[in-house]
Structure 1
Amino acid sequence: MNALFNCISQYHPISLGAWKALSRALTQVEVSKNSFLIQEGMVCNHLYFLERGCLRGYYMLDGKEITYWFGFENNFVTSFYSFISRKPGVENIQVLEDSTLWRISFEALNQLFDHHNDLERLVRIINEQYYIRLEERLMGLQFKTARERYEQLIETSPHILQRISLGQIASYLGISQETLSRIRSQV
């Protein structure tokens, strides 16, 4: 839980009372490689903090997996659309490595908001950071070449080549695996 506390401190300080209440509401879960936190058609009931491991979010399009995010250590992850709207999601969250996560349910989180304004602000800031990353990703897909997207990915997440399959990286970049191989041979 120390990693979670350190991560939270970087976003927004919270009171000792809020931290104690949050600690009581969190559950640690160990999840095995290739299992799922959520699958398409389910309502996502938890917000997670990834302490150890690696995840990916993907959806299916015409029978093909389209990866659109990866989560690594010290990331907050969930199916944001489903978690916030309380509607069934269209994404799958797959565990790519044996992982340790901390989770809190939608109901428990909202009860904490009623008593701890600093927690509500913390989660708002986390959501804002998620939105910023989402917009940066969208702009990259719209305005950058495949090579520029690959170079940016390697610059911001150099460990990705050791942890993620090339097929999933290609899908994330919006290119074929052949195009990715060609780009990698030129870089």
Structure 2
Amino acid sequence: MIDNLVRIIRQTIEVSETECELIAMLFTEKVYKKGSFFLSEGDICKHVGFISRGLVRYYINDEGEDKTYYFSQENEFVCNYESFVPQQPSKQNIQALEDCTMQVISYNDLQTFYKKLKNGDRFGRLVIEQVFIKTLQELNSFYTDPADIRYQKFMAQHPDLQQRIPQYYIASFVGVKPQSLSRIRKKYLLNN
């Protein structure tokens, strides 16, 4: 499964065979059972994960109500950078929605990755830039798009996730109650 991680890294930077061996040493495989947490609120995010198989959701607990704000699936990185970079307690949770297999790297090993790979720093910068842009897009959409548009965007970006994610998590992500999502889905299906 490390081969898939290396393939994704190679899509961004050049990696030598020696560097591939280093990557294999720095990342370890970890399995998260459905419902378990990659990160819990109050804990410090100590790893970046790469999902080989499975699906996770990011959410916050707002006065007893879970508010889902993102999903990650196969071939995507998982991390709460707000906690990971400064090594401070997280305000968010990252939970496995399915059994997940990940390649994980610790904070210290990631520093080694940055130092020892010729383009390691560049890779880190490009990944963070992508995360930053995606976060801004989601934030802008949440404040400017009506719920039906947010749902349409979600479906366009993740058509395969509809069957893998419980509807109440999608409703939370879109920013509506499950009953409202049902109406939005019916309208969406009639128009497509």
Measured against the shorter chain, the TM-score band is over 0.9
Is the counterpart of residue 173 in structure 1 residue 184 in structure 2?
no
Q: What is the identity, as a one-letter code, of the residue corresponding to 1:68? A: Y
For residue 144 of structure 1, what is the aligned residue in structure 2? 145
For residue 89 of structure 1, what is the aligned residue in structure 2? 90
Aligned mates of 1:114, 1:10 — CA distance in 2: 19
Aligned mates of 2:14, 2:77 — CA distance in 1: 16
Aligned mates of 2:166, 2:38 — CA distance in 1: 19
Deviation string for 1:54-92 (max 9, x for gaps)?
Answer: 001111001000111101000001111111111000111
Kept in 1, the 8 Å contact 2:114–2:124? The answer is no
Is the counterpart of residue 121 in structure 1 residue 116 in structure 2?
no
Greater Cα shift, 7-16 or 149-158? 7-16
Aligned mates of 2:9, 2:43 — CA distance in 1: 28
Deviation string for 1:103-126 (max 9, x for gaps)?
Answer: 000011112322324111111111
For residue 60 of structure 1, what is the aligned residue in structure 2? 61
Taking structure 1 as the reference length, the TM-score comes to: 0.96
TM-superposed deviation, 1:175: 1.2
1:13-162 pair list within 5 angstroms = 13-162=14-163
Runs (4+) off by over 6 Å: none
Structure 2 unaligned segments of length 5 or more: list them: none
Q: What is the identity, as a one-letter code, of the residue corresponding to 1:34? A: G
Aligned mates of 1:61, 1:11 — CA distance in 2: 36
Kept in 2, the 8 Å contact 1:18–1:119? The answer is no
TM-superposed deviation, 1:171: 0.6
SS of 1:37's equivalent? Answer: strand
What do you get for the CA RMSD once the two structures are aligned?
A: 1.1
SS of 2:141's equivalent? Answer: helix
Kept in 2, the 8 Å contact 1:60–1:66? The answer is yes
Structure 1 unaligned segments of length 5 or more: list them: none
Kept in 2, the 8 Å contact 1:15–1:118? The answer is no
TM-superposed deviation, 1:95: 0.5
Kept in 2, the 8 Å contact 1:14–1:119? The answer is no
